[in-house]
Chains A and B, each alone.
Chain A
Amino acid sequence: MLRLFSSIAIGLCVCFGAAQAQDVKITDNMPEAVIDLNGTTVTISRIQDTENLLTGDFAKTSRPCPPFCIHPMTIEDGVKTVGELEVIDFLSTKVADGSGLLIDSRVPDFFVRGAIPGAINVPFTTLEASNPYRTDIIKALGAVEIGGGLDFTNALDLMLYCNGPWCDQSPRAIRGLLEAGYPAEKLFYYRGGVQDWVMLGLTTVTPSNDG
């Protein structure tokens, strides 16, 4: 009897221990994503504390609309909307092989407080027509000046995000890019943005240098 109890106890302990040790994985077969970006290793994982709750700005449910209105699933014709797994996949394929960029389109203040690893900051204001130097950015993204226009054949794929589904900074950046001639099929919209990203406990980084 005692033996039975102790074996049950041990079994329980093992189960409990196993439950504690079990990762909060990204997907069943992806505990975390380790991506080599231009010589820097980026690791994306999730917060392992299953009791963890969001605090601060991204715990907010309600912001005044306008301007913080809920955006549709499809932001512009031809621009694909993606979720977290596609963001991670985009980083490990397109960004890793140099054919794409993950763009944080928020103003630098937000970017430095926490961004998706591997993202670079291109504030939406710099992509709008009011920026006289916008063409320089477009060209840095791979567009080539031909005659009077721009050729986007070798332009990078861009995935853009901002604060969340209620944030209009990435939609505005996307519209700015389209207006500058960027092909819609090279643009991707991560609608969830930082709010959905942190809600899932995914890794953010606070970029220290560029911004």
Chain B
Amino acid sequence: MIRTVLGFFIAALTICIVIILAPFSSDDEPATIDVTRNETGNVTAPVAAPIGSTGTLAPGVAEAIAPAPGVAGQAAARILAASRAGQEPELKIQTDTSSIGDTTAGVLAALGLATGAAPVPTPAEQGGDEMMNMTASVLSGIRGATGQPAAAPQQNDLQTLVAWALKEGQSDSYIDALLNEAASAGQITVPNMLVTSDGRVDTATLLASIVQEATAATTGQRAAVPTTPLGPSDGVEVRVVQRAGETEQFRFYTVGSGDSLGSISVKFYGSVEYYPRIFEANRTILSSPDRIQTGQRLVIPELG
């Protein structure tokens, strides 16, 4: 069953990467692209040559996740290098509370594709986004004035890396290795719902979300909630509770290895944006969205 779902993802991924990358073959690229290119331009040369041949994104998903930490780590380090001077690297993945919608929109913007507003942002999130954008322009202003190397603010480093890797046509496994290296070295912060039960970055869900947004932006269609029924083999358990004549159905999900709150949200609701629902319903056992652990039994609320 998981294979079917994965198969769908791979197919969607292939189509959408073609859609994303197609516009960039033309010469009249929008101005936004230049910005990222400048930021990453100096690293393209040393890194792109040996790895450029790894292949397209889609086949990469099928490949076993075999990180190439040396090269990936170097790339991440170089991309984020100068502005990070003086920061102590930490071994634990640093997380932030940013919504994956922002990350996705940021990556797509860097790739020259506008998505419009992220779906269903709460007022608090909107305030946060505005501050993040304002901070980003402040930082670019300060760096422009002080002659520091232009770099995206820390929250956007993840976006910078992903956008760069996608533009380079790196494989999924390469991007996964890159992000995990950078995250464990403390060079990027990751939205907390993208931390898996193994403490890694859920690159697959992030990339799938980018693809989903890109599809929505180019075709105007949102991906539908998956209709494939999930059964016990997927770690899903359905309990029917009868109470005062009403029948209520509860779904439970046992966290598997490699699951993140984001990927579970995709599994049940078709989009990462619903992860707060799952988190809220499981506050008693989850102290934070990134504290998800293999074997935990989560309540999956019905979207009402």
Which residues of A are interface residues toward B (Cβ below 8 A)? 37-38, 95, 98, 101, 108, 120-123, 125-126, 130-134, 136-137, 140-141, 144-145, 156, 210-211
Can you sample 10 A-B contacts with CB below 8 Å? A120-B138, A120-B142, A122-B138, A133-B153, A133-B155, A134-B135, A136-B139, A140-B142, A140-B148, A211-B141
- A101 and B142 contact, CB distance less than 8 A: yes
Which of these, A101, A126, A156, contacts B135 with CB under 8 Å? Answer: A126
Of listed A98, A123, A126, A141, residue having the most chain B CB within 10 A: A126
Q: Cβ of B137: which chain A residues have Cβ within 8 Å of it?
A: 108, 121, 210-211
- A101 and B144 contact, CB distance less than 8 A: no
Q: Is B235 interfacial (CB 8 A cutoff)?
A: no
Q: Cβ of A123: which chain B residues have Cβ within 8 Å of it?
A: 134, 138
Q: Cβ of B154: which chain A residues have Cβ within 8 Å of it?
A: 133, 136
Q: Cβ of A125: which chain B residues have Cβ within 8 Å of it?
A: 131, 134
Which residues of B are interface residues toward A (Cβ below 8 A)? 86-88, 128, 131-132, 134-135, 137-148, 153-155
- A121 and B146 contact, CB distance less than 8 A: no
Cα A114 to Cα B131 in complex, Å, equals 23
Cα A144 to Cα B87 in complex, Å, equals 8
Cα A131 to Cα B153 in complex, Å, equals 14
**A127's closest neighbor in chain B, by CB?**
B138
- B141 and A133 contact, CB distance less than 8 A: no
- A210 and B131 contact, CB distance less than 8 A: no
Ranked 3 nearest A-B pairs via Cβ: A133-B135, A120-B141, A210-B141
Which of these, A37, A121, A145, contacts B138 with CB under 8 Å? Answer: A121
Which of these, B88, B139, B145, contacts A137 with CB under 8 Å? Answer: B139
Which of these, B87, B132, B144, B146, contacts A133 with CB under 8 Å? Answer: B132
Known contacts A126-B131, A126-B138; A140/B86 CB under 8 A: no
- B131 and A133 contact, CB distance less than 8 A: yes
CB distance from B30 to the nearest CB of A (A): 16
Known contacts A121-B141, A136-B135, A137-B135; A144/B86 CB under 8 A: yes
Cα A101 to Cα B147 in complex, Å, equals 12
- B138 and A98 contact, CB distance less than 8 A: no
Q: Cβ of A136: which chain B residues have Cβ within 8 Å of it?
A: 135, 139, 153-155
Q: Cβ of B141: which chain A residues have Cβ within 8 Å of it?
A: 120-122, 210-211
Cα A140 to Cα B147 in complex, Å, equals 11
Given contacts A123-B134, A132-B131, A136-B153, 4 further A-B contacts (CB under 8 A): A126-B134, A131-B131, A140-B138, A210-B141
CB distance from B83 to the nearest CB of A (A): 8
Q: Cβ of A145: which chain B residues have Cβ within 8 Å of it?
A: 86-88
**A101's closest neighbor in chain B, by CB?**
B145
CB distance from A101 to the nearest CB of B (A): 6
Known contacts A125-B131, A136-B153; A98/B139 CB under 8 A: no
Known contacts A126-B131, A133-B132, A133-B153; A141/B145 CB under 8 A: no
- B139 and A120 contact, CB distance less than 8 A: no
Of listed B88, B128, B141, B146, residue having the most chain A CB within 10 A: B141
Cα A122 to Cα B147 in complex, Å, equals 16
Q: Cβ of A130: which chain B residues have Cβ within 8 Å of it?
A: 131
Of listed A133, A136, A145, A210, residue having the most chain B CB within 10 A: A133
Q: Cβ of B140: which chain A residues have Cβ within 8 Å of it?
A: 210
**A111's closest neighbor in chain B, by CB?**
B141
- A98 and B147 contact, CB distance less than 8 A: yes
CB distance from B122 to the nearest CB of A (A): 15
